[in-house]
Structure 1
Amino acid sequence: MSALGMQSSILVGGFQYWDSRRKGRQFPARGDLDPLIDIPRLVPHIILIDVRHDPLDFRFRLIGSAVRRNLARDYVGHWFSEFPNYSASSNIWPRHCAVAESGRPMLQRPTYVGPNKDFIYVENILLPLSVDNPGWSMQMMFLEFISKRH
């Protein structure tokens, strides 16, 4: 965990939760998690993403309330490929591809682009999950928006 360099207590808590559910495996299954019961204080900071492997694309399944209120729009149910800032030519897509291919967590600190002018970047951790559906997987992300005052 320290090798990832997480600074946010939200990310540390999210990573610890994900890690505790691995049970010796590379990553947990979606069925091993129940964030509403297990980590309710972190749910507002979570995003769940469906990963379709052929053809590769990512779909927003759930966006926590703290995340949603700081985005330019509600992305739930939409595919990354629908939006230029998330599509294969963006700098976001390759990060999700890397986690889908490697099965390893990734810490990110992208520049914030959205309606809140006080935010300068987002610290987030992207975590892989397996599902019982061939050709599919999931990703779980915990986010904290970092403001100029932080």
Structure 2
Amino acid sequence: MGAALAALLCSGAVLARDRLGIYNGWAAFKDAETPRCYAIASPEERISGSSRPGYLSIGFWPSQGVTHQIYVNLSRDRSTNSAVTLTAGGRRFRLRGAPSGGWASDRRMDLAIVAAIRSSASLSVESIGRDGRSIVDAYNLRGAPSAIDAAALGCAG
């Protein structure tokens, strides 16, 4: 298990009760109380002078009918004037911004990002921090498809 994933597992980002598996830097979890499942990873590289661990998650909320929901938590707070752009498989996606990250704008974008993740080796998320400096969080996608599948199966039926 990589140092970045180990740090993520110890952070507040991982609040689930049951670990479904670890897959080359990606992990899958299930929280039966909520209920929800998710695949999650921390960036392998941060070009941002990070102040906190960033992460990328793909969530499943069966009671709400939500699957494959993308959320990115940046390694620093972004400027409110800055877009959050995710790039994978030669495709660029402009996410709906939150102060510390971004969401896919709709289900169609969630599924397009997951498809890009499944066919790519790496992914980057970029924005501009409140201090005006670039935020670039880079993720290795090796193991991501297995973690996504484990999360989906963990919350199926």
Give the TM-score, by structure 2 length.
0.36
Give the TM-score, by structure 1 length.
0.37
Q: Write 1 or 2 for the structure with the bigger share of helix.
A: 1
Q: Write 1 or 2 for the structure with the bigger share of strand.
A: 2
